[in-house]
C-alpha cells in the first residue's frame, strides 16, 4: 500500500531525527550528560519542527547544540601549606541569540566539559522561558571548596578570574553562582574582576546587596521552584497546605525551597547532602531551618549534625530521601540524583507532584516513569528558572543604578514563574486537560531562541 505524502514525510523526518541523535552521540561520545540533555529536548522539539521547514532548512537543531565558544584554562593557586595546586577552569559560551551569555559557575570535583555543556545547553531554554534578554553560558572548575580555608578559596577565585576576566563583561557574558559558588565566592571573583578591569559593572550576579546585588536573589531559585509547583497544584484545584514535602540537598536551592514550602503551610520532612539525608517526622520549621542555614552557610558542616540537635529526627547515611512517603518531591541537589527505581518508590508512596530545583536531577527513565504514572512533573529548565530570572533583574537594576525593594523583586519573580508556567501549559497541552510540562518547556523555550537565530542570519 502506498503511503500518503504526509506519512512519508513523517517517516523521513523520523529517520532524520534518529540520524541527528546518532550524530550527536558519535560527535560527543564521551559526554553522557550532554547527550542526555540534548535527547530530552530533541524528543519534543523534533516532532514540533517536523512540519516547519524554516527551522529545518536553517539547521537550527544542528547549530543550537554547538557552543558558540568554549574556553578551557589552567588555574594555579597556592594552599595554606605553601604547596602549589592546579585546577582546570572552563567557560562554555553556548548561545547569544537573545542576550549576553548568562549562567552560573560551578566549583565541584565532578566538573568537566560534559557537565558544563549539559548545563549551558539547559540554560538556553531556561533563560528563554524567563522572557528576559539573556543568552546562555555555564562555567566553573573541578576545584572542591570543601575543607578549604577562606584564604585558599580567595586565592583560587582570584586566579580563576585572572583568566576569565578577558572573556566576560556586562554586555558579553555574565556569570553567577551554582554548586560550590555562593556569596563568598562571588565576592572574591567580583573583587578580582574590578581590580583587573578598573570597572564597577554588573559583570556577575549574586553580588552582596550593598555592592550591586539584588534582594531576593539568594531566595529566588528555591522560592521560584515552589511558586511553580504551587501553580501546577492550582491548575488541578489543590495547593501546598498540609502537604508533606521531600527535599534533597541542603544548599542554596534546598534551603529556600524548604522556606517557601513552610510559608505555604506544607511540612518539609527531609533534607540531604552528598553523605546522606535526615528525616524529621515533625517537620523542619523556620527555627530548624535557621539552624540548617547557619550549619551549611557559615559553619560549612554536614547535614548529619541536624539529628544531634533535633533528637526526634533520624539520619540515613549514604541514602537519598526518595523512599520517604510524601505528596510533593523537590530534588534540589545535583544531576541524576533520582533514577527510575526512586521514581517508582515515590509513585507507589503516592507522590503527586515533582518539581526540579536542581538541573536535570531526574534521569530520562525516571521522567518516563513519572509521565506514565501521571505524576505532574516539572523539568528544571522551567521550575528552577527563578534564580536566573532574578539574576536578570539584578542586571536591570545595575544598568539603571537602582535598587528595587524585596516586595518588588519577589512580585516580579512570582509573575515570571507564572508566565513560564503558562508557556508550559500552552505548548505542553495534551489530550483532555493534561499538560506535559517537559514538552511545554522544551518547545516554549526553543521557539524564541530559534526565531532570533533565524532573524540574525547564519552565525
- Residue 105 contact partner, candidates ligand NDP, ligand 2IT, none, CB within 5 to 8 A by sort of partner: none
Phi, psi of 69 (to 5 degrees): -160, 145
Known catalytic membership, residue 138: yes
Which lies closer to ligand 2IT via its Cβ, residue 49 or residue 104?
104
Which lies closer to ligand 2IT via its Cβ, residue 388 or residue 443?
388
8-state DSSP, 335 = T
- Residue 249 contact partner, candidates ligand NDP, ligand 2IT, none, CB within 5 to 8 A by sort of partner: ligand NDP
Q: What angle do CA 63, 181, 142 make, to 5 degrees?
A: 70
CB of 458 to ligand 2IT, least distance (A): 28
Chain positions 353 to 392 lying near ligand 2IT, rule: CB under 6 A, are: 359, 387-388, 391
Instruction: Give the sheet arrangement for strand 173-176, strand by strand.
Output: 69-78, 84-95, 136-141, 101-107, 173-176
Quick one: which segment of 96-104, 285-293, 340-348, 414-422 binds ligand 2IT (CB under 6 A)?
A: 96-104
**Catalytic: which of 33, 102, 126, 138?**
138
Q: Which three cell numbers stand for residue 223?
A: 522560592
The contacts of residue 181 (CB under 8 Å, 6+ apart) are 104, 105, 106, 107, 140, 206
Establish if 213 lies at the interface with ligand 2IT (CB under 6 A): no
The correct pick among 33, 102, 117, 207 for binding ligand 2IT (CB under 6 A) is 102
Is residue 154 within 8 A of residue 188, CB to CB? The reply is: yes
Is residue 133 within 8 A of residue 391, CB to CB? The reply is: no
Q: Cell 572548575 maps to which residue?
A: 141
The correct pick among 35, 75, 120, 176 for binding ligand 2IT (CB under 6 A) is 176
Between strands 173-176 and 101-107, the pairing is: parallel
Which lies closer to ligand NDP via its Cβ, residue 31 or residue 185?
185
Quick one: which segment of 10-18, 78-86, 101-109, 448-456 binds ligand 2IT (CB under 6 A)?
A: 101-109
- Residue 102 contact partner, candidates ligand 2IT, ligand NDP, none, CB within 5 to 8 A by sort of partner: ligand 2IT
CB of 272 to ligand NDP, least distance (A): 6
Q: How many Å separate Cα 30 from the centre of its chain?
A: 22
CB of 217 to ligand 2IT, least distance (A): 8
- Residue 440 contact partner, candidates ligand 2IT, ligand NDP, none, CB within 5 to 8 A by sort of partner: none
Q: Which three cell numbers stand for residue 249?
A: 540537598
Q: Could you give the CA distance from residue 206 to residue 213 in angstroms, rounded to a whole number? A: 6
For residue 246, list its beta bridge partners: 270, 329
Binding residues for ligand 2IT, rule CB under 6 A, total 11
Closest CA to 253 of 375, 151, 145, 106: 106
Q: Cell 497544584 maps to which residue?
A: 233
Is residue 221 within 8 A of residue 384, CB to CB? The reply is: yes
Question: 320 to each of 76, 102, 248, 345, how far by Cα in Å?
Answer: 35, 31, 7, 12
Binding site for ligand NDP (CB under 6 A): 177-180, 182, 221, 249-254, 272-275, 332-334, 337, 357-359, 384, 387
Fill in the per-residue mask, 119 to 158: x = in contact with ligand 2IT (CB under 6 A), - = not in contact. -------x--------------------------------
Q: Which residues are catalytic?
A: 138
Applying CB under 6 A, the residues found at the interface with ligand 2IT are 102-104, 126, 176, 178, 205, 359, 387-388, 391
Amino acid at each position: 500500500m502506498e503511503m500518503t505524502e504526509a506519512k512519508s514525510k513523517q517517516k523521513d523526518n523520523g529517520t532524520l531525527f534518529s540520524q541527528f541523535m546518532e550524530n550527536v552521540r558519535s560527535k560527543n561520545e564521551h559526554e553522557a550528560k550532554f547527550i542526555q540533555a540534548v535527547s530530552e529536548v530533541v524528543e519534543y522539539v523534533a516532532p514540533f519542527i517536523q512540519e516547519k521547514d524554516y527551522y529545518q532548512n536553517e539547521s537550527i537543531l544542528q547549530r543550537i547544540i554547538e557552543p558558540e565558544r568554549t574556553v578551557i584554562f589552567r588555574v594555579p593557586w597556592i594552599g595554606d601549606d605553601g604547596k602549589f595546586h592546579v585546577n582546570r577552569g572552563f567557560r562554555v559560551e553556548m548561545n547569544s541569540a537573545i542576550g549576553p551569555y548568562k549562567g552560573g559557575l560551578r566549583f565541584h570535583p565532578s566538573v568537566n566539559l560534559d557537565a558544563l555543556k549539559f548545563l549551558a545547553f539547559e540554560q538556553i531554554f531556561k533563560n528563554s522561558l524567563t522572557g528576559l534578554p539573556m543568552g546562555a553560558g555555564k562555567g566553573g572548575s573541578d576545584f572542591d571548596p570543601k575543607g578549604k580555608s577562606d584564604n585558599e578559596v580567595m586565592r583560587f577565585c582570584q586566579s580563576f578570574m585572572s583568566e576569565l576576566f578577558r572573556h566576560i563583561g556586562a554586555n558579553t557574558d555574565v556569570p553567577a553562582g551554582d554548586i560550590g559558588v555562593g556569596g563568598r565566592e562571588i565576592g572574591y571573583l567580583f573583587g578580582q574582576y574590578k581590580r583587573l578591569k578598573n570597572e564597577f559593572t554588573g559583570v556577575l550576579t549574586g553580588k552582596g546587596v550593598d555592592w550591586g546585588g539584588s534582594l531576593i536573589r539568594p531566595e529566588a531559585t528555591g522560592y521560584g521552584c515552589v511558586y511553580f509547583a504551587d501553580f501546577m497544584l492550582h491548575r488541578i484545584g489543590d495547593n501546598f497546605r498540609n502537604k508533606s514535602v521531600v527535599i534533597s540537598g541542603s544548599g542554596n536551592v534546598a534551603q529556600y525551597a524548604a522556606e517557601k514550602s513552610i510559608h505555604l503551610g506544607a511540612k518539609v520532612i527531609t533534607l540531604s547532602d552528598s553523605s546522606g539525608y535526615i528525616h524529621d517526622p515533625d517537620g523542619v520549621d523556620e527555627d530548624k531551618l535557621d539552624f540548617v542555614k547557619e550549619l551549611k552557610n557559615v559553619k560549612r558542616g554536614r547535614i548529619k549534625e541536624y539529628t544531634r540537635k533535633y533528637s526526634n529526627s533520624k539520619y540515613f547515611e549514604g541514602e537519598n530521601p526518595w523512599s520517604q512517603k510524601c505528596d510533593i518531591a523537590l530534588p534540589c541537589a545535583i544531576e541524576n540524583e533520582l533514577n527510575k527505581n526512586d521514581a517508582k518508590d515515590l509513585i507507589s508512596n503516592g507522590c503527586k507532584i515533582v518539581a526540579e530545583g536542581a538541573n536535570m536531577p531526574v534521569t530520562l527513565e525516571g521522567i518516563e516513569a513519572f509521565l506514565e504514572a501521571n505524576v505532574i512533573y516539572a523539568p528544571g529548565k522551567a521550575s528552577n528558572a527563578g534564580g536566573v530570572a532574578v539574576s536578570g533583574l539584578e542586571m536591570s537594576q545595575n544598568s539603571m543604578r537602582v535598587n528595587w525593594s524585596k516586595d518588588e523583586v519577589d512580585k516580579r519573580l512570582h509573575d515570571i514563574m507564572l508566565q513560564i508556567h503558562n508557556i508550559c501549559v500552552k505548548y505542553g497541552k495534551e489530550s483532555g486537560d493534561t499538560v506535559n510540562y517537559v514538552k511545554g518547556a522544551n518547545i516554549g523555550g526553543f521557539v524564541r531562541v530559534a526565531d532570533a537565530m533565524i532573524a540574525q542570519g547564519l552565525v
